[in-house]
């Protein structure tokens, strides 16, 4: 079952970030499906300093965050890596969830090919790696999560709460005290979580 916009417009970005754990992120390019179970996410809200849209700051890069929830927000980080987010909340309330790691499911050969490697060890264990493995780049920015390129499926029953680990977000030292928020969610003991 596919998640629709009602899921992404729920308004509580940390709740959505934790609920995305265990769900399946899917892409389909040229008829080839690749997918993986989401094992690590981070929440970002316009109300805190870690967010690109902090204080309602709207730029060319982040304008899709100001649209209603259910769109993909992709941007280039450090000139090399595409990072994939899902916009949540409602129009002009710019919140998003960063997908940081997945556990490969479908299309593993395609992922290995995209990663230029012969093995499948930890090929999706990080926000920049999973986008490469899934074929996500800037052309995906702004796409709806209920189209035929990228979407999220719900397959398994609800996760046990105690499987969800909450910790500080990675790589946002510039956010001051907001860097201490426990807004990173991961599946405890899952080997595909990033380091």
> Residue 163 CB, nearest distance to DNA (Å)?
22
Largest CA distance in the chain: 45
Q: Does 179 bind DNA (CB under 7 A)?
A: no
Residue count of the chain, please give it: 195
Q: Does 138 bind DNA (CB under 7 A)?
A: yes
> Do residues 66 and 53 touch, judged by C-beta distance below 8 A?
yes
> Residue 162 CB, nearest distance to DNA (Å)?
26
Helix or strand holding residue 42 (H, E): strand 32-45
Q: Does 182 bind DNA (CB under 7 A)?
A: no
Which listed residue (47, 52, 112, 154) binds DNA by CB under 7 A?
A: 52
> Residue 53 CB, nearest distance to DNA (Å)?
7
Which listed residue (14, 18, 62, 88) binds DNA by CB under 7 A?
A: 62
CA distances from 195 to 2, 131, 188 (A): 29, 17, 13
Total residues in contact with DNA, by rule CB under 7 A = 34
Tokens of 67: 């649209």
Q: Does 176 bind DNA (CB under 7 A)?
A: no
C-beta neighbour count of 108 within 10 angstroms: 16
> Residue 78 CB, nearest distance to DNA (Å)?
4
**Strand, helix or coil at 145?**
coil
Q: Does 172 bind DNA (CB under 7 A)?
A: yes
Residue 29 or 73 with smaller CB distance to DNA? 73
CA distances from 1 to 4, 25, 47, 184 (A): 9, 12, 32, 25
For DNA, the binding residues (CB under 7 A) are 42, 44, 50-53, 57, 59-62, 75-81, 83, 85, 96, 98, 126-130, 138, 169-172, 174, 194
């Amino acid at each position: 079952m596919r998640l629709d916009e009602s899921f992404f417009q729920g308004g509580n970005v940390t709740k959505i970030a934790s609920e995305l754990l265990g769900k399946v992120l899917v892409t389909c390019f040229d008829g080839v499906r690749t997918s993986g179970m989401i094992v690590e996410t981070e929440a970002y809200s316009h109300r805190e300093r870690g967010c690109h849209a902090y204080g309602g700051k709207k730029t060319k890069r982040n304008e899709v965050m100001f649209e209603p929830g259910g769109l993909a927000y992709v941007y280039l980080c450090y000139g090399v890596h595409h990072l994939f987010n899902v916009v949540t909340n409602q129009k002009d309330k710019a919140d998003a969830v960063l997908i940081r790691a997945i556990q490969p499911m479908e299309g593993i050969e395609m992922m290995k090919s995209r990663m230029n490697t012969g093995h499948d060890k930890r090929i999706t264990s990080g926000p920049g790696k999973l986008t490469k493995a899934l074929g996500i780049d800037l052309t995906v920015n702004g796409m709806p999560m209920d189209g035929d390129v990228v979407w999220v499926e719900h397959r398994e029953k609800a996760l046990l709460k105690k499987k969800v680990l909450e910790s500080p977000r990675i790589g946002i030292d510039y956010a001051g005290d907001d860097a201490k928020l426990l807004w990173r969610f991961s599946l405890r003991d899952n080997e595909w979580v990033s380091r």
